[in-house]
Structure 1
Amino acid sequence: MAGGSVRLLPLEQSSCASLAAGIAAIEPWSVMNYPAETLAAFLLRPDGSVSRYVVSVNGEEAGVVSVRHPWLKGPYLELLALLPQAQDQGIGSIIIAWFESTALKHGARNLWVCASSFNTRGLRFYERHGFTRAATLPGLVADGYDEILLRKFPLHPA
């Protein structure tokens, strides 16, 4: 997949079960024993405040993005999950750039994300992209696990 074409396409119902199974098998979801069925149900749940996308790389499904907007004067990236074959290739950075540029076009002043407290790789990724820790949220995703809420503020046009 390296060097490929990255696209965000509307998430179709037919993709949810297989993507959820792949995501549930990787960290941080595997650490929390987060069931694929629960993740698939989340992806399928109608919600007018959420936009969900499949990450397509060279025409292959490589992950999922879910954005909640509006949320605290800006969008909340409630899910960014890349399957192993799409990791460590700069795809996450492409998605964060898209997330920020889309937010700026809509006048947002904040960007929000969460990462599990044990997910040091994810926390470093978001902090590298200008997010700072705002709060600790115990049990948000799974009982016994803390989530770290991160915020990027203020947003500035590139």
Structure 2
Amino acid sequence: MRTREKAALAVAGLAVAAAGGTVFAGTSGAVGPSPSPSVEAAETSCVTDGAGLCTVPHALGAVPAVVVVSPNTPGQFNAYMLNTVQGSYTATTFQVRAMFNQTTPKAGGTIWFSYAAYGGAPKPTATPTKTTPTKTTLPTATTPEPTPLG
């Protein structure tokens, strides 16, 4: 299967998952153009910490502008809300938080989800330097002294 077909299937899977369907059977590799994808879509899982947080690696090569997540629950009674954590995006990771309700995190449990990370602008490799013009001093004109006639 070609990369474009994999990406289309991943996006379709996210749409089905967002509509409440189950499309998750295991983890998948991220898909996107090579060598530096501007979009990465995948299914993954992780174990949350005491606050319901886990860190997810990505291969965009830039800080994502947007990350869309959708939980994939293995059973009808395992529902949880899943959100990205504001300010957690880096060039290699982002964080998600799973909650059973507004005040109860899904702590110390495995969560399964799909995500699509959309790359932002690549970081510049060189910083432009500001140049200041140099002041040029022109010589002053002198008038010759009159020569006496004699």
For the pair shown, which has the larger CA radius of gyration, 1 or 2? 2
TM-score exceeds 0.5: no
Give the TM-score taking structure 1 as reference length.
Answer: 0.26
TM-score (norm 2): 0.27
